[in-house]
């Protein structure tokens, strides 16, 4: 970590950025991951770098969906591995789900490094190194998946996903939960539940909610999902950005 002091107003954002840089240096995160993080930073700035009420609502629905799932799988790419590896392992343990390394810019070396990292943090089951199935409708490298993992999952938690792959998973009949700071992305619009929040804030919240809701009756969890409307949550997320920008504009305009 460079010598940015904790008192710096952009400390958290800069620290998060450095984790992605470190991920690239370790061969865990792809170079494109830096660009994705930059885009995320800009959008996070627009939303006020905070977890908004619609993000909280989506996190609650995501927790209910994960708790109700029969075969949940958590998908990990290079950015999630750099930013929230412990949290992904933690969440997997809490809901009894396997993890699968599923990366967009696939190299076998990076898949192995991410899988090793997750195992070093205590992950019990990590798929992805020996994919034995193909997601229909995607080109060869992007289509790779594992039986017992994403290929057979009923619910896939896939932070920072590509739009094409998200659509392909939904076409397979899976319910998809994503974390994406862009409420207008194809992934955000296609997913069953979209958490418009920074992954570094969303994962700790999701873990707390899973703990809090684990004792709830199945009927109560189902009614949370029945009352959930992802489109409306996305509209509210855009409204949160507009309102934050409008406040900033008023402050600037004096």
**Interacting residue ranges for ligand PTJ, rule: CB under 6 A:** 30, 32-33, 36-37, 39-40, 43, 77-79, 83, 103-105, 160, 162, 179-182, 185, 198-199
Nearer Cβ to ligand PTJ, position 123 or 200? 200
Edge-to-edge strands of the sheet including 126-127?
A: 126-127, 99-101, 72-76, 155-157, 175-179, 193-195
CB of 122 vs ligand PTJ, minimal distance in Å: 22
CB of 130 vs ligand PTJ, minimal distance in Å: 18
Nearer Cβ to ligand PTJ, position 111 or 221? 111
Could you say which DSSP state residue 94 is in? H
Nearer Cβ to ligand PTJ, position 76 or 221? 76
Phi, psi of 69 (to 5 degrees): -65, 150
Nearer Cβ to ligand PTJ, position 148 or 163? 163
Beta strand spans in the chain (E) = 72-76, 99-101, 126-127, 133-134, 144-145, 155-157, 175-179, 193-195
Looking up tokens 């909280």, which residue turns up?
56
CA pair distance 72, 95, nearest whole angstrom: 8
Nearer Cβ to ligand PTJ, position 36 or 64? 36
CB of 7 vs ligand PTJ, minimal distance in Å: 23
Looking up tokens 């799988």, which residue turns up?
73
Tokens of 227: 């009352």
CB of 4 vs ligand PTJ, minimal distance in Å: 18
Q: What is the CA radius of gyration of the chain?
A: 18
CB of 26 vs ligand PTJ, minimal distance in Å: 13
Nearer Cβ to ligand PTJ, position 36 or 206? 36
The HSE-up count of residue 39 (CA atoms within 13 Å, CB side) is 13
Nearer Cβ to ligand PTJ, position 144 or 221? 144
Torsion angle (degrees, nearest 10) of CA 164, 166, 167, 172 = 130
CA pair distance 177, 72, nearest whole angstrom: 10
CB closest to ligand PTJ, residue no: 40
CB of 151 vs ligand PTJ, minimal distance in Å: 17
CB of 223 vs ligand PTJ, minimal distance in Å: 28
């Amino acid at each position: 970590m460079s010598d940015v002091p904790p008192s710096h107003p952009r400390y958290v954002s800069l620290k998060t950025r450095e984790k992605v840089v470190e991920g690239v240096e370790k061969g865990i995160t792809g170079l494109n991951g830096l660009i994705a993080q930059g885009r995320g930073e800009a959008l996070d700035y627009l939303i006020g770098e905070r977890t908004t009420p619609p993000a909280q609502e989506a996190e609650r629905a995501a927790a209910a969906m994960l708790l109700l799932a029969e075969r949940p799988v958590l998908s990990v790419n290079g950015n999630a591995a750099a930013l929230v590896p412990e949290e992904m392992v933690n969440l997997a343990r809490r809901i009894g789900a396997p993890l699968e390394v599923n990366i967009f810019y696939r190299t076998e070396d990076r898949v192995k490094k991410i899988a090793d990292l997750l195992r070093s943090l205590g992950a019990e089951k990590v798929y992805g190194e020996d994919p034995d199935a193909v997601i229909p409708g995607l080109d060869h490298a992007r289509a790779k998946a594992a039986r017992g993992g994403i290929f057979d999952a009923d619910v896939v938690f896939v932070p920072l996903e590509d739009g094409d792959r998200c659509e392909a998973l939904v076409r397979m009949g899976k319910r998809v939960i994503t974390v994406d700071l862009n409420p207008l992305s194809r992934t955000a619009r296609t997913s069953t539940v979209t958490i418009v929040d920074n992954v570094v804030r969303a994962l700790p919240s999701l873990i707390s909610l899973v703990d809090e809701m684990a004792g709830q009756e199945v009927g109560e969890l189902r009614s949370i999902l029945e009352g959930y409307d992802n489109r409306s949550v996305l509209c509210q997320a855009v409204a949160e950005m507009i309102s934050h920008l409008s406040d900033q504009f008023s402050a600037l305009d004096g």
